[in-house]
Amino acid sequence: MERDLDDVVRITWLEQGMTLCLSSDLVNRALRALEELNIAELELREYDETGDHVMLAEAYPNYIKLVRHAGRYMVIAGLWRQSRAEEVYVALLEE
In the predicted structure, residue 8 carries a pLDDT above the cut 50: yes
In the predicted structure, residue 39 carries a pLDDT above the cut 60: yes
pTM for the predicted model, two decimal places:
0.83
In terms of Cβ atoms closer than 10 Å to its own Cβ (0-12, 13-18, 19+), residue 11 is middle
What is the share, in percent, of the chain residues with pLDDT greater than 90? 54
User: Quick check: 88 and 77 in contact, CB under 8 A?
Assistant: yes
